[in-house]
Amino acid sequence: MYERMPMKCKDLISIADLLPSDIEEIFTVTRELKEWHAKGYDEKCLNGKILGMIFEKSSMRTRVSFEVAMVQLGGHAIYLTQGDINLGKREAVKDGARVLSRYVDGIVIRTFGQETIQELARYATVPVINALSDYLHPCQALTDMYTIKEKFGTYTNVKIAYIGDGNNVARSLAQICAKLGIHFYVASPKGYELSSEFLAKAKQMAEGYDVIHLSHDPKEVAKNAQVLYTDTWVSMGQEAEKAVRQQAFRDFQINNDIVKLAKNDVKVMHCLPAHRGEEITDDVLDGPNSIVYDQAENRLHVEKALLKLLLRK
């Protein structure tokens, strides 16, 4: 059991910055907020607070869940697209960070480079939350692990198998597994694996233990899995590689043959949006093992907890 203690970090840029106790604290607050919401009560702990939301890529879940989260907690959100502020082009990222900090109480940003988010956080005096970069998707990983804990009652010794690209979603999942000491099995095509540099850092996060296990065989990782996870083969920004990627990933689909290799009651997860017939089949996504919509709903509850913990400071 972790003792409840306030999160020390100002921002949520990467799971790497969190202590295991921070993750547990986020989960505890998430559970409380979710239970209260189900009973018809939303604590207005962010009354009068304003969140700036910079989105340089498309989004449905992240954009809507953060906006709804702010309203439910008594605050307000301002959606800012690249066309509105043109951060880094119309003006330097550090100027944007300094000025936005004079207006808003927190900033959510979805962009391409992780370094843009780091620079924004360095110069912003208000909390900055990474809503996805090419490199990481920490809000997704927190939600995924919360959902696993909710479904299994624990995440300890749950076999999680990820089949697909060693991308932003896979990296953040690997990081949260490393932080919590959970074994994470990843099957990717050659050339699309998590890098050895990334794995070395993840090992440090796992206090020297090898908890990330790479394979090129989806069947091998799927055996006895309790969670099967996948994501798109072509992330935002990789559209030009679509044909090459579709070819490279054609044997890395979660379908009924893969589900049969896993435990009977395996939970199938996907961060969404899904590309039906590519990384996952219709029958699996719509089938009894799929928990993707509960997972998507939990984005809201987890982000409410994050906003409560970060913006109230």
- Please choose, out of 35-43, 151-159, 162-170, 178-186, the segment that lies near ligand NVA by the rule CB under 6 A: 162-170
Q: What is the DSSP letter of 252?
A: -
Distance CA 310, CA 54 (A): 17
Q: Among residues 30, 140, 175, 290, which is the contact residue for ligand CP, using CB under 6 A? A: 140
Cβ of residue 294: shortest distance to ligand CP, in angstroms?
14
Query: Does the footprint of ligand NVA cover residue 235 (CB under 6 A)?
Result: yes
Query: Under the criterion CB under 6 A, does residue 232 sit at the interface with ligand NVA?
Result: yes
What does the alpha-carbon distance between residue 126 and residue 249 come to, in Å, rounded to a whole number? 41
Q: Which of residues 48-67 bind ligand CP (CB under 6 A)?
A: 59-62
The CA R_g of the chain, rounded to the nearest whole Å, is 19
Q: Establish if 18 lies at the interface with ligand NVA (CB under 6 A).
A: no
* Closest CB to ligand CP among residues 62, 133: 62
What is the distance between the alpha carbons of residues 23 and 7, in angstroms, rounded to a whole number?
Answer: 9
**Binds 172, which of ligand NVA, ligand CP, none (CB < 5 to 8 A, cut-off by type)?**
none
E strand residue ranges, 227-266:
227-230
When the beta carbons of 167 and 281 are compared against ligand NVA, the nearer one is 167
Residue ranges with strand state E in the chain: 50-55, 76-81, 106-110, 128-130, 160-163, 184-187, 212-215, 227-230, 267-270
Among 111, 168, 281, 295, binds ligand NVA (CB under 6 A): 168
Burial of residue 32 (CB within 10 Å: 0-12, 13-18, 19+) is middle
Determine the size of the site formed for ligand NVA (CB under 6 A): 9
Q: Is 109 left (phi over 0), alpha (psi -120 to 50) or beta?
A: beta
Catalytic sites, residue numbers: 110, 137, 140, 231, 271, 299
Binding site for ligand NVA (CB under 6 A): 132, 167-169, 231-232, 235-236, 271
Binding site for ligand CP (CB under 6 A): 59-62, 132, 140, 271-273
